[in-house]
A and B are shown apart, each in its own frame.
Chain A
Amino acid sequence: MQLELPQTIDRATVLRYLGAAGWQPDAATDALLARAEALVLAAATPRGVWRTLPLAALDGLALGGDLARHLAGCDSVTFSAVTLGAETDALLRRLEAEDIALAAAADAAASVLVEHAADTLEAHIRAALPAGRYLTGRYAPGYGDCPLALNDEICLALDTVRGAGLAVTPAHLLTPRKSTTAIQGGADTPVTGARAGCAHCLLRDACAYRKRGTTCAE
């Protein structure tokens, strides 16, 4: 399905992705972010696909302990995937050839927009939830000890190539670049899932967030 575009992209989050969390940008940077935002909003064609399957759909797949914990108490699993489309990638390639500062700002703005698209799709999924059913939050492959290879299974089950023009590379990366997948558990009782936390994160020891006493999820 096509997902609605927002009017604006949250600048504070864009700055956080650019490693400048909490900074009050100067006028030049403000103008840069505004240009990046306008270009990304003009190029993006956000689309999403989703599907709910019995928990048994995960049988035999390597999930990692973090995702298993996230799905504890669930009897169904909802896969979803969103992409900003090939034209956003093309925009980023063009900007990288033209102006690296604008390219970095647009790249960050596109990342924020992907998250927004995932939120939008999740709202649709929740709106379609039968009465008395509950969903956990989204969990994406690559977080904690959950292997990226799970992207292959998610995209196959959703037929993302046909439904959204989204494909997985042999290295399990999503293409177009500005895309994301998610897994949510479903149950008859309220469930929230468990965040990946830092225990299995590769960057545990070098993480700039942890040094500041926060996490990337906050």
Chain B
Amino acid sequence: MPSKLQTVFDRSAFVFLDGAMGTELQKRGLRLGQKPELAAFFMPETLTAIHAEYLAAGADILIANTFGANPKKLAGTGHTLEETVEASLACARAAGGADVPVALDIGPLGELLAPAGTLAFEDAYDQFAQIVRAGAAAGADLVFIETMTDLYELKAAVLAARENCALPVFASMSFEARGRTFTGCTVESFAVTAAGLGVDAVGINCSLGPAEILPFAKRLCRSVPAGLPVFVKPNAGLPEPDGSYALTPQRFAEQMEAFAGTGVSMLGGCCGTCPESIRLLKRAYAGQKPAQKIPLRRSALCTPVRFVEVNGITVVGERINPTGKKRLQQALRAGDMAYACAQAVQQAEAGAEVLDVNAGLPGIDEPATLERLVRELQAVTDLPLQLDSADPAALARALRVYNGKPVVNSVNGEQKVLDAILPLCKKYGAAVVGLTLDENGIPKTAEGRVAIARRIVAAANARGIPNEDIYIDCLTLTASAEQAAAAETLKALAACKRELGVRTVLGVSNISFGLPCRGFLNTAFLTMAMQAGLDLAILNPNAPEMMAAVRAFRVLSGQDARSEAYIAAYAGQQPQAQAPVQAAPPPDAAPQSGDPLFDAVRRGLKAEAKAAAAAALQSGREPLALVDASLIPALDAVGEGFENGTLFLPQLLQSATAAQSAFEAVKAAIAAGGAPAAHKGRIVLATVKGDIHDIGKNIVRVVLENYGYDVLDLGRDVPPETVVEAVRTSGARLVGLSALMTTTVPSMQATIEALHAASLPCRVMVGGAVLTPAYAAGIGADFYARDAKASADIAKQVLGG
């Protein structure tokens, strides 16, 4: 390591970075249309001169002109990534000689990662890995990842750097004035995620000027460990309408002085700054030393947009765990993630702040399923996840694709478990739950459990996991079997908090197993545990009494200042469940049929449809008879109105949503009865490769499911081979493909050709804005589905029902 880099890490003096490269190249002759990342080839002297001027101005580290050097941007330029990186690093080295550290600069790839875009996390990783290997081979002294706006892309880049070279890694994101990146990532989520992934310095660059970045830099300093250096590289103020920047080098340097006392220890400039900016900046800091950083030691979990500080009772939704939940078991076995996604959204609405995710089910591929669940869930919810598995392979895959900082559930006192799982938590920056049991089982006494907790904490600390990231579970036993155990659990919990300085967690509902009216016991135990200092409560947030206990506790413990959250949740509510008031039918409604489910679906009333289905099931009607006698006739009536033009799409969809909620009650009843999910035929749906517009496909899914078909929804941007594989393994006789744009219709054709080539006995229906019946026939489809209603008619024709 060049000796100058040592200063970065001992923070004994301010370290100066360079200023802008792009705007300097433009000033010195880069023409419109010329790619700046190729400057090392067509203007190497100029590039070297810019580096030399930054060095003369006082920069301690030179950042090579490799910001845009990635495989995609270089395609078709006639230059390989490797030669571009090498030539660019050589210009910086030529300016600085061997003693001046040269950084491999890595910017965003220029495509959005899934689910926002179509770039897979693994593809992003591979591109970054190629850049990192090229930079290391060309002699870079450090990796400088900057101007990131997507935390997921940043994670791919950091992992690629950490796994493909031994160089220090600096990571920097760009924030808007609202304190979030374009993708909504907060300063704190960036801080804890990057620090957790083991970067060697974090920073903020671009987008804003020094004055605007100052408050965010302060927050960054407080959110990373004391030993982790923080840097800033602001723009020369905000851009003017003509593209120039507002601050002169003099004003830039003046504004930069405000960072002196913040704990920031490295300073430089981004767009609009120049060598003079750096010279004046260095002069302004003459004789000063970096201020001490005083980080907040807090327990936090996060996704990019949601930073959850665990400080007081925090609710973990327990519903995405197949143990004892037959409907979820069926869905996971069928590869249907939509049910789990709906559960996630429901729990979030009910007040969950973290979601437990478990895919442990005999006979399924747990690692693959847990990874897929994580990907799908983080597309629809911004709540942090608790990755719940005993299988290190499943955890490794889930941790890798998780976007943010999760908590792993769990380790226990067994040495081999600690050895297998703690290194994974450390590598991916996850918090960890420790269960107070070991190879000898669960100690009867509180003291025994605290002793195991102590061992877990020591093992985690030894791996570099601090106490604020450890959550001890003192284990809820069943009161009906071991009545004295409840008190021991709470005693152990209080002792762990007091003596070990860690957070605590309990799965609450187990307390009441085997006793009637479980909610009474659950809320009482939860309240006792909260009083004993419980931090994470794993429970069913859809149970109103549980959330009520939590919200009430927050009022009485002062966590909910001025009772605001409590009032927001309950103002205007009656404490007792009231019979739903029957809404008067609107004047234009069809006459009542005497079948409440039929009417509720026809009128698009979601809550009423669910209630009517539940009532009918309770009165002993057969689940499938309910579908045939009430649901489908109602959907048919609505569909007919839609076709005749007397009903409109919003009404059709509201009916579909109502039918869906009724159908969910039916499915739950069937699953609870232990019968396999009955259906009228299997259909595979996909939005084709390259296309991300899938609302049409999602509408079709809901309608087909309502008609009783078993739909395997493969999602969007689905490659032909995935469709072929799904049809082969599921035996589906009908495939529905959607594409919205002209540029993605060819992948629809490729998918149909692949299905034909595989000689699978299935028919294909297609739909999407740019398709016509003639076009559909031309690409080999069997059916053109104009709308969701038409797709249901086609399904009936092909599969019956």
Query: Which positions in A face B, CB cutoff 8 Å?
Result: 2, 15, 18-20, 23, 25-29, 32-33, 45, 47, 51, 53, 57, 85-87, 89-90, 92-94, 96-105, 107, 128, 142, 148-149, 161-162, 164-165, 167-173, 175-177, 202-203, 205-206
Instruction: Tell me, in angstroms, the Cα distance from A45 to B149 when the chains sit together.
Output: 14
A100 close to B741 (CB less than 8 A): no
Instruction: Tell me, in angstroms, the Cα distance from A168 to B690 when the chains sit together.
Output: 11
> CB within 8 A of B650: which of A101, A148, A164?
A101
Query: Inside 8 A of B654's CB, which chain A residues have their CB?
Result: 28-29, 32, 101
Residues 367-420 of B at the A interface (beta carbon under 8 Å): 379-382
Instruction: Tell me, in angstroms, the Cα distance from A175 to B654 when the chains sit together.
Output: 28
Query: Which positions in B face A, CB cutoff 8 Å?
Result: 32-33, 108, 110-112, 115-119, 147, 149-150, 174, 176-178, 181-184, 206, 241, 243, 305, 338, 341-342, 344-346, 349, 379-382, 586, 588, 603-606, 648-651, 653-654, 656-657, 660, 690-695, 698-699, 702, 741-744, 747, 769-770, 772-775
Measured CB to CB, the nearest residue on chain B to A25 is: B650
B653 close to A97 (CB less than 8 A): no
Instruction: Tell me, in angstroms, the Cα distance from A176 to B113 when the chains sit together.
Output: 10
> CB within 8 A of B690: which of A2, A27, A173?
A173
A20 close to B117 (CB less than 8 A): no
6 extra interchain contacts, Cβ-Cβ under 8 A, other than A96-B380, A148-B742, A173-B692?
A: A96-B695, A98-B346, A167-B112, A172-B743, A173-B690, A173-B743
A171 close to B112 (CB less than 8 A): no
A161 and B692 contact, Cβ closer than 8 Å, known pairs A23-B648, A203-B772, A205-B772 = no
A104 close to B183 (CB less than 8 A): no
B149 shortest CB reach to chain A, Å? 5
Instruction: Tell me, in angstroms, the Cα distance from A167 to B694 when the chains sit together.
Output: 18
A93 close to B692 (CB less than 8 A): no
- Most A-side CB within 10 Å, residue of B342, B344, B690, B692: B692
A97 close to B344 (CB less than 8 A): yes
Query: Inside 8 A of A29's CB, which chain B residues have their CB?
Result: 648, 650-651, 654
A171 and B741 contact, Cβ closer than 8 Å, known pairs A87-B305, A101-B650 = yes
A171 close to B691 (CB less than 8 A): yes
Query: Inside 8 A of A168's CB, which chain B residues have their CB?
Result: 111
A210 shortest CB reach to chain B, Å? 12
A175 close to B112 (CB less than 8 A): yes
A101 close to B604 (CB less than 8 A): yes
B249 shortest CB reach to chain A, Å? 22
A167 close to B651 (CB less than 8 A): no
B111 close to A142 (CB less than 8 A): no
> CB within 8 A of B118: which of A25, A87, A99, A171?
A171
> CB within 8 A of B742: which of A57, A86, A142, A165?
A142
Query: Inside 8 A of A202's CB, which chain B residues have their CB?
Result: 742, 770, 772, 775
Give the secondary structure class of B's interface.
loop
B741 close to A142 (CB less than 8 A): yes
Instruction: Tell me, in angstroms, the Cα distance from A206 to B767 when the chains sit together.
Output: 13
Instruction: Tell me, in angstroms, the Cα distance from A161 to B67 when the chains sit together.
Output: 13
CB-defined A-B contacts under 8 Å, sample of 14:
A2-B176, A27-B586, A33-B650, A45-B182, A98-B342, A101-B604, A103-B695, A104-B649, A148-B741, A162-B174, A167-B110, A169-B112, A203-B770, A206-B773
Give the secondary structure class of A's interface.
mixed
Measured CB to CB, the nearest residue on chain A to B698 is: A96
> CB within 8 A of A98: which of B182, B345, B651, B656?
B345
A167 and B657 contact, Cβ closer than 8 Å, known pairs A25-B650, A177-B692 = no
A105 close to B650 (CB less than 8 A): yes
Instruction: Tell me, in angstroms, the Cα distance from A29 to B647 when the chains sit together.
Output: 12
Measured CB to CB, the nearest residue on chain A to B119 is: A169
B108 close to A104 (CB less than 8 A): no
Measured CB to CB, the nearest residue on chain A to B658 is: A101
Instruction: Tell me, in angstroms, the Cα distance from A142 to B743 when the chains sit together.
Output: 9
Measured CB to CB, the nearest residue on chain B to A148 is: B743
Query: Inside 8 A of B657's CB, which chain A residues have their CB?
Result: 99-102
A20 close to B650 (CB less than 8 A): yes
B341 close to A32 (CB less than 8 A): no
Measured CB to CB, the nearest residue on chain B to A100 is: B702
Instruction: Tell me, in angstroms, the Cα distance from A85 to B182 when the chains sit together.
Output: 7
Query: Inside 8 A of A100's CB, which chain B residues have their CB?
Result: 653, 656-657, 660, 698-699, 702
B648 close to A20 (CB less than 8 A): yes
A26 close to B651 (CB less than 8 A): yes
Measured CB to CB, the nearest residue on chain B to A96 is: B698
Instruction: Tell me, in angstroms, the Cα distance from A126 to B713 when the chains sit together.
Output: 46
B690 close to A171 (CB less than 8 A): yes
B239 shortest CB reach to chain A, Å? 9
Query: Inside 8 A of B149's CB, which chain A residues have their CB?
Result: 165
Query: Inside 8 A of B177's CB, which chain A residues have their CB?
Result: 2
B380 close to A173 (CB less than 8 A): no
A135 shortest CB reach to chain B, Å? 16
> CB within 8 A of B741: which of A32, A45, A173?
A173
Instruction: Tell me, in angstroms, the Cα distance from A142 to B108 when the chains sit together.
Output: 26
Query: Inside 8 A of B772's CB, which chain A residues have their CB?
Result: 202-203, 205-206
A161 close to B108 (CB less than 8 A): yes
> CB within 8 A of B341: which of A97, A104, A171?
A97
B650 close to A94 (CB less than 8 A): no
Query: Inside 8 A of B184's CB, which chain A residues have their CB?
Result: 45, 85-87, 90
